[in-house]
Structure 1
Amino acid sequence: MISRKRFIIVGTFFLMALFFILYRLADIQLIHTESFSKKGVNLVQESVNQRTQEVVIDDGRGRFVDKNGESLRNKVEPSLVLFPFLKDITWPVEELSDLVNVSSYELKSRLQDSTEPLVLSSKDNVNLSNIDLEKINKLEIPGVFGIYRQSPIEETIGEHIIGITGENAEVLRTKYPDREDLSYKTQIGLTGLEKAFDEFLLPDEETKLLYHVDGDGNPLFGVNVKYIADSNPFYPVTVKTTIDKDIQGIAEEVLEKQKVDNGGLVLLDVETNEILAMVSKPELDRSAGVTLTNHMVQPLFPGSIFKTVILAGAIEYGLDDATREFNCNLNLYGESDGGQDDGMLTLARSFAKSCNYTFTTLAEELIEKDNNVIENTAEKLGLLGPVGWSGKVFHYQNFKQLPDERSGKIWGDEKDKKVQRAIDQTAIGQKDVKVTPLGVANMMATIARGGHKEQIKIVENILYKNGTNMFSFTSNLLEEEKISPLTASKLQKQLRLVVTDPEGTGRRFQTSPYEVSGKSGTAQTGKKNEQGQTLYNKWFAGYFPSSNPKYALVVVEMDTTSAEAGTNASFYDIVADLSKLNKQ
């Protein structure tokens, strides 16, 4: 009786196991053949792929160009394709050798070691012209093709702007549940513009050369190679950015030369409020997650840059008496600690020399008049953000061109508005004050335009494959209150005095080829280096030419000692290089 019971249990177990195996086989071969597992793997296609060798000419993903139509990531390059079955057949290698200026011995040698299609281009010292490609294809040699192939630009620029892509099947299926045509290997945008415009950039179909092989890699259906191309006249799209490739290159070279390894810059066109260049350091490295962050859209301690806000508030509230003097021998708390010796200064010279006591005094007086005056003034200047372009784009009600941008903040606790020392520290851009370099650039552009506030654009258009317009990004106003034209005019004079005053913190720029207006900033970060030295964020922000503003520029170096900062030198070099560029 017991043995019969055991037999039934064991038999039931084996039947259940057999049933599971049969179900699994049916699931693989009959039920979910085109969408297997959470990744949505197309098993039919994968089985074909195992017997296929291919050369991808274009992955079908949309691309990015600068404002002049220059590619920012990929280039189309004439290339020679040789399929590996050539080493097993007789073919006119000498004729090809004469055309491509590569010895027949070298061509055969490279083929002998290849198990996959061989693609040769300029990096392999195979330099081909349009005419060469035509001649190669007229030879009609099976397995030999002259093609234009999309390939990455060797010296990439604007990496934090464009961002990166990667494979993530689960995110792909969650984000695009209706796109069953997408392979689980489809690249999706992870950062930057690749992330923001991902849905527009998704590929329709790859353009490729392919042929089928048996288990040993030999041609399965002869030596016929198929050309598969995307016939859609509208996709892939092109995202036309506002970036100027030449200026972006200059910006990256300058920061490299001045050894700004941690920080970056933002350069705006004052008239259009478009980003011409943006650089974030450290350089993007996929293997180091921390480098994926674009620091130009992340809040940082601004230091004395923030005194611009206090000055604007003082002007708006009538506290800018030109004859009033402040005792700049006192520290920010109004104490005499021997650290300051600037004597009695007017408001104008206090701003030029960045006297802390003047602006802590004004901040206290402003708070007495209006508890929210500091944050309201920062909003009027377009500082706090988010300031990147946002609006309705097709079914997106709040599409953001810079989705990683974070808002700045001023107060960590509302109770601090009643604490004198907290007000004083806030007035000079410390305590809990953090703003983005993008926001600071926008503030300077707003002042340069006389108080007119707009969202910042980094993309102008999305274009269809045939060049027609899919969507244009209009200039959007920032709807909050703004400073008066009179306030803007007074701020312009004060920012210019920072440079023209013999003791101004921006006096270095007196010799710039363009007249510069701006403000410096030094903010303690609360960190120390290995030698125990205090680390700072060092800033210079402004616009130029002063009399007819064209550019607004912010340069910041993070976590640096004051003596080592390359901020001012970088700003100076950018101004000089733009002057040279505009004279060409």
Structure 2
Amino acid sequence: MYDKRIKIFIILSACLLLLCLLRLTQMQLLPDSSIQDDIAKLKRQRSMSRQLGTVRGKILDRKGKVLAGDEPQFQLHINYRLSCFMDERIRRAKLLKAARRDDAAIASAEVEKELQTGLEDLQQIIDKCTYFGLERADIENRIKTINNRIWNLRTFLAWRRNGPNPDILEKYNNRINSIPLSVAIADFEKKFPDEDRRLLLVREVDDIAEMDKTWPLLELKTDDDIFTAQLEFMNVDGIRILPKAHRVYPYGDTAAQTIGWVGPATQETDRQLFAGDKLSSYLEDEVCGREDGVEYVCETILRGRRGEVIYDIDRKVVNRTETQFGKDVSLTLDIEFQQRIENYLADCTHNRNCEAAVAVVVIDVATGDILALVSMPAFDLNRVRYDYAALAADPNEPLRNRAINKLYPPGSVVKPLILIAGLETGKITPDEIIPCPAQKAPNGWPSCWIYNKYHSGHDDKWEYDGGNNARNAIKGSCNIYFSRLADRIDPSVLQQWLFKFGYGQISSLVARRSSLVARDLRQSPGTISSGNPEGIIVPPERRYFGIGQGNLRVTPLQVANAMAAIARGGFLKQTRLFKEMHNSEVIALDISPQTLDVVRDGMSSVVNEPGGTAYKEFAPEIGR
């Protein structure tokens, strides 16, 4: 009877075990199992991710020469587990913890030995870091900065994990990461007035990623530095040599304002640009384009997007997002051509105004491409992050792009436009003479420059060459002729002609059809009225507009494009700075061929004929 009961018990136990095995097999192996889904969900919840860096796109000139690009720069990094040996707060917290153990004396001695050994190792590392040109105090300050940063984070988390004041949370709408550190620390100190208690609570925060990552300590600027660092720190725990992308500008200060520069992405507008996109948003040590320049305008094109690999709890890849590298941006500039212009302007041996603030714009007449956009003084793009304060305070405004964002009285370059307006409205004919006698102009009228300088007039100069007619007035840049002519033209009509040539308006240099670019280079529209940009020309001021004075203001780019319109036969074309732009639209200004012939003939004589105001400057080059 007893044996029979034993057999029944064994059979029942075996059946129950078989049922358990069958259920376990179903849970683990069958794909349709709901338990399998739960396991997969749990793995996803415990997943880990690793982000993959991107590379910022290059900026190129029209011939493919690199104007801005990333190069690897090696840095010496230190781990916080090593740098913290210089933090007195860490030392005190560890000793306090040891003192509370049952074997307090032994534990404290061990901690003292650990701290002393760690500090001695760190001091040796600091000594070796001085080999790379830094003062010991500078290195120690950098280590203190790292320690303070992580200690503040640990303090904030200690406060967060130990019952923050509900009133503070409510004040900041329970967005705990929006609470300032100073507010958190004040509440932490109020709740835990004993400093030792606070130190122990902060010490317990030992599970954050920042404590295990490495932090840049110094830059290794040369190959010799890299080689030396490899030898000195080859087997040192907590020290690593890591590459970092470094933005390089091969042409230094050439086209600096147009190219722009990058700096730390710390401003609110930087965070807003890619808000909601965790793979595009800026990490702590990343850079972005600083206003103004192509680096800033094309940030969304150049930036790229980090990749990401997500692992489950078993370290298996469950999702992968590929890295999108930044795209290159090609400009219409000819950087070596622009460099020659800038070098010429800065050479005091032949340019007596070499130290003056100037701007130069060169446009390809046929295409509207901007070949050169010079603004001087300039600055070295490779040093601007270090020199910014001095540059911003410089009264010569080297950071401003004078070619597009600085207003000037156009002076005599407006005279061809005034002549076109006068001829097309019938206010003058090509052969009509406006006298320019050798005498001072009446009150309220500008005198001619030739009288101010030589006490003579254009009547004498052109007495045997057709008189002071349209062609000769351009050739001699006669103030009397153009002030009198402008005074004949209705103010609104004069404004219309200036506007048709691009004065008083901004012509976008960025393709607005591109959904990627929401920014533009900073430009000034200029002024073509007596006061505010949208006002009228007061009739008496027309005479000063006629010689490019008064309240008339333009940018060098506007002047260059107006001259290009005359050169291409009275057709205005949008200027192009980015090769990707298609500026096929051409606006006919409805200027008669006869008017264009007169104006062009006069402009040609300025540089090609004796008596022209620029003949002496260009004569040595003619015929070469």
Band of TM-score, shorter chain: 0.5 to 0.7
Tell me which residue corresponds to 1:73. Answer: 68
1:546-565 matches, within 5 Å, as none
In the alignment, is residue 153 of structure 1 matched against residue 249 of structure 2?
yes
Deviations 1:524-568 (A, max 9, x none): xxxxxxxxxxxxxxxxxxxxxxxxxxxxxxxxxxxxxxxxxxxxx
In the alignment, is residue 241 of structure 1 matched against residue 331 of structure 2?
yes
The Cα shift of 1:434 comes to: 0.3
The Cα shift of 1:244 comes to: 1.2
Taking structure 1 as reference, are residues 327 and 155 closer, same or farther at Cα in structure 2, changes over 3 Å only?
same
1:524-543 matches, within 5 Å, as none
1:156-555 matches, within 5 Å, as 156=252, 157-166=254-263, 167-181=265-279, 182-183=281-282, 185=284, 186-189=286-289, 190-205=291-306, 232=322, 234-257=324-347, 258=351, 259-284=354-379, 286-287=388-389, 288-289=391-392, 290-298=397-405, 299-329=407-437, 331=441, 333=444, 339=452, 340-344=455-459, 345-367=468-490, 371-395=491-515, 402-413=520-531, 417=537, 419-420=539-540, 422-460=541-579, 472-477=580-585, 479=587, 481-511=589-619, 513=621
The Cα shift of 1:513 comes to: 3.5
Deviations 1:353-399 (A, max 9, x none): 111110111112222xxx42222222333344323435433437x96
Aligned mates of 2:54, 2:526 — CA distance in 1: 39
The Cα shift of 1:176 comes to: 3.1
Aligned mates of 2:346, 2:133 — CA distance in 1: 41
Taking structure 1 as reference, are residues 324 and 263 closer, same or farther at Cα in structure 2, changes over 3 Å only?
same
SS in 2 for 1:236: coil
The Cα shift of 1:351 comes to: 1.6
SS in 1 for 2:616: helix
Higher strand share: 1
User: Is 1:383–1:439's contact at 8 Å kept on the other side of the alignment?
Assistant: yes
Aligned mates of 2:447, 2:342 — CA distance in 1: 43
Same amino acid, percent of matched pairs: 22
Taking structure 1 as reference, are residues 491 and 117 closer, same or farther at Cα in structure 2, changes over 3 Å only?
same
Taking structure 1 as reference, are residues 252 and 125 closer, same or farther at Cα in structure 2, changes over 3 Å only?
farther
User: Is 1:381–1:483's contact at 8 Å kept on the other side of the alignment?
Assistant: no
User: Is 2:446–2:479's contact at 8 Å kept on the other side of the alignment?
Assistant: no
Taking structure 1 as reference, are residues 274 and 514 closer, same or farther at Cα in structure 2, changes over 3 Å only?
farther
SS in 1 for 2:361: strand
Aligned mates of 1:483, 1:73 — CA distance in 2: 42
SS in 1 for 2:329: strand
Aligned mates of 2:268, 2:535 — CA distance in 1: 45
Taking structure 1 as reference, are residues 362 and 272 closer, same or farther at Cα in structure 2, changes over 3 Å only?
same
The Cα shift of 1:474 comes to: 0.6
Taking structure 1 as reference, are residues 187 and 111 closer, same or farther at Cα in structure 2, changes over 3 Å only?
closer
Deviations 1:161-201 (A, max 9, x none): 01233333422233332233423544333211122212222
Structure 1: which amino acid aligns with 2:325?
Y
Deviations 1:92-136 (A, max 9, x none): xxxxxxxxxxxxxx9996699999577656575989xxxxxxxx9
Tell me which residue corresponds to 2:165. Answer: none
Structure 1: which amino acid aligns with 2:470?
L
Tell me which residue corresponds to 1:131. Answer: none
The Cα shift of 1:59 comes to: 6.8
Aligned mates of 1:343, 1:151 — CA distance in 2: 57
User: Is 1:382–1:446's contact at 8 Å kept on the other side of the alignment?
Assistant: no
The Cα shift of 1:67 comes to: 1.2
Structure 1: which amino acid aligns with 2:572?
K
Taking structure 1 as reference, are residues 149 and 240 closer, same or farther at Cα in structure 2, changes over 3 Å only?
same
The Cα shift of 1:423 comes to: 1.4
Stretch of structure 1 that moved more, 445-454 or 285-294? 285-294
Q: TM-score, normalised by structure 1?
A: 0.58
Taking structure 1 as reference, are residues 336 and 158 closer, same or farther at Cα in structure 2, changes over 3 Å only?
closer
Tell me which residue corresponds to 2:14. Answer: none
Taking structure 1 as reference, are residues 305 and 328 closer, same or farther at Cα in structure 2, changes over 3 Å only?
same
Structure 1: which amino acid aligns with 2:457?
D
User: Is 1:267–1:441's contact at 8 Å kept on the other side of the alignment?
Assistant: yes
Higher helix share: 2
Structure 1: which amino acid aligns with 2:299?
D
How well do the aligned residues superpose, as a CA RMSD in angstroms? 4.3
Taking structure 1 as reference, are residues 377 and 233 closer, same or farther at Cα in structure 2, changes over 3 Å only?
same
Q: TM-score, normalised by structure 2?
A: 0.54
Aligned mates of 2:278, 2:248 — CA distance in 1: 28
Gaps of 5+ in 2: 1-47, 83-127, 144-215, 309-319, 380-386, 460-467
Aligned mates of 2:242, 2:278 — CA distance in 1: 33
Gaps of 5+ in 1: 1-43, 50-55, 89-105, 128-135, 208-229, 461-471, 516-578, 580-584
Taking structure 1 as reference, are residues 391 and 69 closer, same or farther at Cα in structure 2, changes over 3 Å only?
closer
Taking structure 1 as reference, are residues 82 and 411 closer, same or farther at Cα in structure 2, changes over 3 Å only?
closer
User: Is 1:203–1:236's contact at 8 Å kept on the other side of the alignment?
Assistant: yes
